[in-house]
Structure 1
Amino acid sequence: MSAAIDEARPLTGFRIGVTAARKVDEQIGMLTRRGADVEWGAALSTEPNHIDDAELRAATEQVLARRVDVFLATTGIGMKVWLDAAQRWGIGERLVAHLADAEILARGPKSVGVLRRNGLRELWAPESECFEDVLAHLRGRDLSGVRIVVQEHGQSLSMAAHALRRQGAEVTTVPVYRVASAEDPTPMFRLVDLIADRALDAVTFTSAPAVAALMDASVATGRRDDVIAAFQSAVVAACVGPVTAAAFEMWGVPTLFPERSRLAPMVRMLELELPSRRDGLEILLADGRQLLVHSDRVLADGVEVPLSPAPAAVLSCLLVNPGHVVSRQALLAALPSGQAGSEHAVEMAVARLRAAIGTRAVLTVVKRGYRLAVAA
């Protein structure tokens, strides 16, 4: 890619994949105005989320049948759909009054906004906007006999419900809507090939179900390992927030996401991230050494360091998100073909990398993996 990058169009010459189904025109417009070449492959259906009215009504009656001790609100759109449906059935005020007596925990600001507009007040919400932190908030408590109602989003939260039941809680889930896969998977299959072939600079994700759909497509096409290796080295997995990013954890894929879980900050993050990668990544290590990575050249304190393919692959993974832990499994998958036989191969590659750039440059994180020791 030889196109010049200018301040007005900082993404000129970059090719970015978009997986969104909702607000896709807005996202593509933001990227193309900044000069990006966009490839769109909707991971999910472009139709509105599927709502099973009878199932939702039955779940609502179950909620209303008995006192609710704790209520978990997970998404703004889910709360709006549920409360609107209750109004349509003529039981909206009754549902709001019933939930008002409960301890209300909200996942993030969107669900908080809907709650407050309907006269409900949350007791607590995590700054991270992660549902996992809501569960962590409850984990240390004795939930024996406590009735908890969980408002589900597009994916089932049955595993979270089972975890709460193990603490003694009685849990009722409310399946407000379900997210359907894209009607035509062809564009998604094309996106998978582009990622696997490292023909994209970044791919954006605005929901956890979109991550799951893309990885399912990579499995279906037999390119899962290629996709994971590409994300670990050459292609940026850009997520709108930590909830979306968490969906990649099981695959060992490093991600980037902005501090505010919104579309515009994600695009601004790419404006800064992608040009810096092309111009050369400069890292200050914790031991004071300066590491400069430009294309296939690595310089430590200005001196070029030759790296063989295996340690170079490990360094590429560690540089995707400097300072963050990368699992041994993820590093194993990134090793060149023919060298990924066992975790011993990872240990050998890490040892060679340390010998080249400094023995304290790569830290071992017990039972988790390795991370680059960057300066605070």
Structure 2
Amino acid sequence: MSPVLSLPLSGFRIAVTSNRRSEELIEALERRGAEVTHAPLLKLAPLDDEAVLVHQTKKLIELRPEFVVISTAYGLRRWFDSAEAAGLGHELCQCMKTAKLYVRGAKAHGAVRALGFHAAGVAKDGTTAGLLSLMANEVSGRSVAVQLHADSDHGLGLALRELGASRVLKVEPYRWLDTSSEQHLSTLVAGICAAHFDAITFTSAPSVHALFAAARSRNRAPALIRSLNERIAVATVGPVTAAPLQAAGVHAPLVPARHRMGAMILQLVEHLGELGTLSTPTVFGPCELRGRTLSLNGEHCELSPAQTEILRRLMEAGGSVVTRDELVAALPAVSSNHALDMTLSRLRRTLPHPELITTVIKRGYRINL
């Protein structure tokens, strides 16, 4: 096998949906051989206009809440950067020191400690539910400030009021720009529905919400969910990110035991290595399919999504005959026998050896073992 194809993700096409830290993720995937498409689903609004955040910070300093909820490490750092620039850093620190800090997740806890603060409680699972369970008997009649992550966190304020909090102050260190109308999202949605990718990565729940919003606005949500369930590996950085996928009907997103980007990458490598790679001996030598890259006795070629699905079905059958009806049913983009014939004809012309696929008259097709 060539040095390129010996890399663990060679042959696989992966969509990266994150904006922040995307360069780090893309570089890690490409270093392992993947072909990466970057399609950020959300973009952070610039900090040029700090008026809203400064106003919220002044309100917090005035209120002196008894509890402060920290949702994210990046949000906390961004909040303090803004406060320092506005000359409010010292006063904000004093408020944090006198309040009970409750933190959602290990990364946010690390940021709290880095700033010299002590957390009264940490939701180890990184979820809002875990955070609320820690605070259930604490906040009745008390004032609480909440550092929000994104729009999807707004239910946290209502939940705290239901626990009896007398006042909830929301602090939003960052806002997301609306990118739903941008062309790259149309391309991403279409690519997912057509299984142009072998895997897609998510590093935040808001990105998941943005994808489904983009799919719904284009009337592609059912097709997108079907493709994510049947044809594309879905990698997430943790359970908070996976939750909206599961709620939308994506059955088995990958969730690493350690909620870190590095762990997500390693889990994806293992998953694609086990389930995304097929190998079989043939009369023409060893045949390996990695994503949409076929290696046949050392010769390589790139296949279309439909061609890949046909070859995958034939290889999985292990030399047994796969009927025409079975192939048509397995290919959403192939709706007739004529379309199947055209796809098979193009596939054979693409293969290093067209005779790799044998026609069994009146029955179907099989791999030539």
User: For the structure 1 residues 269 and 51, does the alpha-carbon distance in structure 2 shift closer, same or farther, using more than 3 Å as the test?
Assistant: farther
Pair 1:77-2:87 in alignment:
no
Quote the residue 2:21 is aligned against.
23
Residues 218-367 of structure 1 aligned to structure 2 (within 5 Å): 218-253=215-250, 254-279=252-277, 295=313
> Alignment partner for residue 43 of structure 1, among 38, 41, 44?
41
Query: Residue 163 of structure 1 aligns to which amino acid in structure 2?
Result: A
Distance 1:219 1:250 in 2: 15
Number of positions where the alignment pairs a residue of Structure 1 with one of Structure 2: 292
SS at match of 2:69: strand
For 1:125, the equivalent position in structure 2 comes to 122
Distance of 2:84 and 2:149 partners within structure 1:
19
Secondary structure in 1 matching 2:146 = strand
2:220 & 2:134 partners in 1: Cα distance? 38
Cα distance, 1:98–1:142 mapped onto 2, change above 3 Å: closer
After superposing on structure 2, the runs of 4+ consecutive aligned residues of structure 1 that deviate more than 4 Å are 3-8, 47-52, 294-299
Deviation of 1:121 after TM superposition, in Å, equals: 0.9
Q: Is the 8 A contact 1:76 1:111 kept in 2?
A: yes
Other-structure match for 1:153: 149
When Rg is computed on C-alpha atoms for both structures, the one with the higher figure is 2
What is the SS of the residue equivalent to 2:96? helix
* Contact 1:10/1:35 (<8 A) preserved: yes
Whether the 8 Å CA contact 1:74–1:153 is kept in 2: the answer is yes
**For the Cα contact (< 8 Å) 1:40–1:187, is it kept in 2?**
no
Q: C-alpha root-mean-square deviation of aligned residues, in Å?
A: 3.2
Aligned partners of 1:73 and 1:183: how far apart in 2?
28
Preserved CA contact (<8 Å) 1:49 1:179: no
CA contact (8 A) 1:51 1:176 kept: no
Higher mean C-alpha deviation, range 259-268 or range 179-188: 179-188
Q: Distance in 2 between matches of 1:51 and 1:257?
A: 35
Kindly provide the CA deviation profile for residues 141-187 of structure 1, in whole angstroms up to 9, marking residues without a partner as x.
Answer: 26331111101123353211111112221211111110113387212
Gaps in structure 1 of 5+ consecutive residues? 281-293, 300-307, 314-333, 338-376
Using structure 1 for the length normalisation, give the TM-score.
Answer: 0.69
* Structure 1 contact 79–151 (Cα < 8 Å) conserved: yes
Partner of 1:217, secondary structure, is helix
Give secondary structure in 1 for the equivalent of 2:101.
strand
2:32 aligns to what?
34
What's the CA shift for 1:257? Answer: 2.1
CA shift, 1:43, in A, is 1.0
Looking at structure 1, the residues matched to 32 and 218 of structure 2 have their Cα atoms a distance apart, in angstroms, of: 32
1-side partners of 2:46 and 2:62: how far apart? 27
Task: Map Cα deviations across residues 113-165 of structure 1 (whole Å, 9 max, x no partner).
Answer: 332232211122122122331122223x2633111110112335321111111
Residue pair 2:148, 2:154 contacting (<8 A) in 1 also: no
Give, in whole Å, the separation in 1 of the partners of 2:3 and 2:240.
32
Give how far 1:110 is off: 2.7
Unaligned runs of 5+ in 2: 279-311, 318-324, 336-369
Distance, in Å, in 2 between the alignment partners of 1:49 and 1:257 is 30
% same residue? 32
1:191 is aligned to 188
State whether structure 2 residue 179 is matched by structure 1 residue 182: yes
Contact 1:72 1:149 survives alignment (8 Å): yes
Relative distance call for 1:64 and 1:262 in structure 2 (3 A) is same
Per the alignment, do residues 29 and 218 of structure 1 end up closer, same or farther by CA in structure 2, a change over 3 Å counting? same
User: How far 1:94 moved relative to its partner?
Assistant: 1.6
User: Is the contact made by 1:70 and 1:103 (CA closer than 8 Å) also made in structure 2?
Assistant: yes
Q: CA deviation at 1:50?
A: 5.0
Tell me how far apart the structure 1 counterparts of residues 194 and 229 of structure 2 sit (CA, whole Å). 13
